[in-house]
């Protein structure tokens, strides 16, 4: 959805953003000797990718299409290349080209150990899964920056929170996972008898359960500011992964294994479906899709059918805004056809299949 730019006074914050662009421009200047490869190595790293639903304050720096931009004033939904609120800088170097990723470093040590023991997948594989998940969720591969994400995206599911999009619930989500997240936060913070209310209190927010829905009584700004403040909180990160595992990952791994499948790509595909459309329940959930995907014991045959079934509904029921859903599924199906099923040494392949534009 497009939003008109909201003009504010030109604050000093923009000077910092412009300074970053200027520094990037200077770094990219110089002799052309050495060709394109050397020129690329001189380019500044790209900032976090622009997200059409994220509000940006003056001075914010984002990247889009291999170019860094600085916001001149508050803006939301205005593509940087269209000008208006954005000051263009020089070309930048995608993060994937900056240096080889240290995949394990993206996980809390205990979480990494737990994931290896319970899913059979290592840090590199889970990091790639999370990149594939985060692209259609946040239009970014930098998933670790979204532990504190919070927004009401007007999909009738309440607030959407964190790295896997936990929700507080609404008319389109009557079995939300947000309540579990806050209970896990209370537990990870040391509570002997953890509760949803305890987790809310530790987060500094206010709300109550109305049936299965967690009704937040704070304003959107107050609530999301508090959640954003938990970005680097170790207990919050631990709670996020505990909830993610209990609600989505565990079921997805079970469904893969009972069919004789154990590849990172299949497990990741199931996890992506579960968190996007629900793990079990109606025909649109992972459970429902699996029931319509056939009984082949050949992993590629089964997954090809699964992707075909998911593509039929992935852009319906507020799951995704068309055509983002079909592109979401295409990421996984393309990797399957390329033989990248273990998601090892797959940085370039993941970068390529996620190089599509969110609508």
Do 158 and 139 reside in the same domain of the chain? no
Q: Indicate whether 185 belongs to any domain.
A: yes
Confidence of residue 39 (pLDDT cuts 50, 70, 90): very low
pLDDT(66) > 90: no
pLDDT tier for residue 25 given thresholds of 50, 70 and 90: very low
In a domain, 4, yes or no: no
DSSP class per residue in 261-302: ---HHHHHHHHHHHHHH-SSSSTTSHHHHHHTS---SSHHHH
In a domain, 205, yes or no: yes
Segment 169-173 shows an average pLDDT of 92
Asked, for residue 67, whether it belongs to a domain, the answer is yes
Using CA atoms, how far residue 282 sits from 173, 175, 314, 317, in Å, is: 12, 12, 14, 12
User: Does 356 lie in the same domain as 273?
Assistant: yes
Residue 247, in any domain of the structure? no
C-beta neighbour count of 48 within 10 angstroms: 17
What is the domain-level CATH number for residue 201?
3.30.386.10
Residue 5 lies in a domain: no
Same domain, 138 and 79: no
| Integer CA distances (angstroms), 261 to 131, 255, 267, 296, in order | 21, 9, 8, 11
> Are 272 and 353 members of one domain?
yes
CB-based contacts of 310-319 (< 8 A; 24+ apart in sequence): 310/273, 313/277, 313/284, 313/289, 314/276, 314/277, 316/284, 317/172, 317/277, 317/284, 318/155, 318/156, 318/157, 318/172, 319/276, 319/277, 319/284
More confident residue, 229 or 77: 229
Residue at which a domain ends, from 231, 263, 297: 231
State the residue range of the domain holding 28. Answer: 13-98
List pLDDT tens digits, range 276-306.
999 999 999 999 999 999 999 999 999 999 9
123: pLDDT strictly greater than 60 = yes
Please count the structural domains in the chain.
3
pLDDT (average), residues 82-110: 79
Q: What is the mean pLDDT of residues 118-133?
A: 98
What pLDDT band is residue 265 in, cutting at 50, 70 and 90? very high
Which residue, among 263, 212, 271, has the nearest Cα to 246 in the 3D structure? 271
The pLDDT value given to residue 42? 55
Residue 94 has pLDDT above 80, yes or no: no
Are residue 121 and residue 175 in the same domain, yes or no? no
Residue 241 lies in a domain: no
Q: Which residues contact 105 (CB under 8 A, 6 or more apart)?
A: none
Q: Cα–Cα distance between 46 and 73 in angstroms, integer? A: 20
Mean pLDDT across the stretch 78-101?
76
- What positions carry a catalytic annotation? 137, 155
DSSP-derived pairing of the beta strands 166-167 and 67-71: unpaired
What pLDDT was estimated at residue 305?
A: 99
Q: Which of 6-20, 50-64, 185-199, 257-271 shows the lowest mean pLDDT across its residues? A: 6-20
Q: What is the DSSP string of 5-17?
A: -------THHHHH
User: What pLDDT does residue 13 have?
Assistant: 47
Q: Is the predicted pLDDT of residue 7 greater than 70, yes or no?
A: no
Res 6: pLDDT? 30
Residue 128 sits in a domain of what CATH number? 1.20.141.10
Residues 6+ positions from 197 with CB-CB distance below 8 Å: 208
Model's pTM, two decimal places? Answer: 0.73
The per-residue pLDDT for 44 is 78
Residue 91 lies in a domain: yes
Q: Summarize pLDDT for 238-263 with one digit per residue, the tens.
A: 999 999 999 999 999 999 999 999 99
């Amino acid at each position: 959805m497009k939003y008109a730019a909201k003009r504010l006074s030109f604050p000093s914050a923009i000077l910092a953003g412009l300074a970053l662009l200027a520094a990037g421009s200077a770094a990219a200047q110089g002799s052309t000797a050495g060709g394109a490869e050397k020129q690329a190595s001189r380019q500044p790293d790209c900032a976090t990718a622009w997200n059409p639903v994220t509000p940006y304050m003056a001075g914010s720096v984002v990247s889009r299409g291999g170019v860094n931009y600085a916001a001149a004033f508050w803006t939301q939904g205005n593509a940087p290349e269209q000008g208006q609120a954005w000051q263009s800088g020089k070309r930048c170097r995608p993060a994937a080209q900056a240096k080889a990723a240290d995949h394990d470093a993206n996980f809390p040590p205990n979480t990494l150990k737990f994931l290896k023991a319970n899913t059979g997948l290592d840090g590199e594989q889970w990091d790639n899964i999370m990149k594939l998940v985060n692209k259609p969720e946040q239009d970014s591969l930098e998933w670790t920056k979204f532990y504190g994400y919070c927004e009401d995206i007007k999909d009738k599911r309440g607030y959407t929170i964190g790295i896997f999009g936990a929700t507080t619930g609404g008319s389109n989500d009557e079995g939300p996972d947000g309540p579990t997240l806050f209970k896990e936060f209370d537990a990870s913070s040391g509570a002997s008898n953890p509760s949803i209310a305890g987790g809310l209190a530790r987060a500094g927010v206010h709300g109550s359960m109305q049936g299965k829905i967690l009704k937040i009584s704070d304003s959107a700004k107050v609530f999301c500011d508090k959640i954003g403040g938990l970005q680097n909180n170790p207990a919050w990160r631990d709670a996020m992964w505990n909830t993610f595992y209990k609600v989505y990952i565990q079921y997805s791994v079970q469904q893969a294994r009972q069919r004789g499948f154990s590849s990172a790509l299949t497990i990741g595909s199931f996890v992506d479906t579960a968190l996007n459309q629900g793990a079990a329940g109606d025909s649109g959930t992972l459970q429902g899709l699996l029931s319509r995907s056939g009984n082949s014991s050949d992993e590629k045959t089964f997954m090809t059918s699964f992707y075909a079934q998911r593509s039929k509904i992935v852009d319906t029921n507020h799951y995704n805004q068309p055509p983002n859903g079909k592109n979401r599924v295409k990421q996984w199906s393309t990797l399957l056809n390329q033989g990248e099923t273990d998601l090892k040494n797959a940085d370039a392949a993941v970068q390529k299949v996620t190089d599509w534009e969110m609508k």
